[in-house]
Chains A and B, each alone.
Chain A
Amino acid sequence: MDETKRKIREILSVRLKLATAVARWGDDSPLFGLDGLGLDSIDALELVLGIQKEFGVLIEDRELAAKVLATINTIADFIHSQGKG
Chain B
Amino acid sequence: MGGDPLSHLPHAYPFRFVDRILEFRPGERVVALKNVTSDEMFAVGYSPDVHDYPPRLILESMAQTAGLLNPADGVAYLGQLSGVRILRDVVAGDRLRITACDIACLGEIRRVSVFAEVDGVRVAEAEVDVIQRGFVS
Contacts and interface: CB of A to CB of B under 8 A. Distances in A.
Interface stretch (A2-10, A22-30, A44-52): A44-52
Interface in A18-58: 40-42, 44-45, 48-49, 52
A60 to B, nearest CB: 8
Contacts of B129: 42, 45
B106 interface: yes
Interface stretch (B2-10, B31-39, B107-115): B107-115
B106 A48 contact: yes
A60 B107 CA distance: 9
A10 B91 CA distance: 43
A contact residues, range: 10 to 19
Given A40-B136, A40-B137, A41-B137, A48 B107 contact: no
B76 to A, nearest CB: 14
B contact residues, range: 10 to 19
A65 B137 contact: no
B137 A59 contact: no
A35 B86 CA distance: 39
Contact of B104 (A40, A41, A48, A62): A48
Interface of B: 79-80, 103-104, 106-109, 111, 129, 131, 136-137
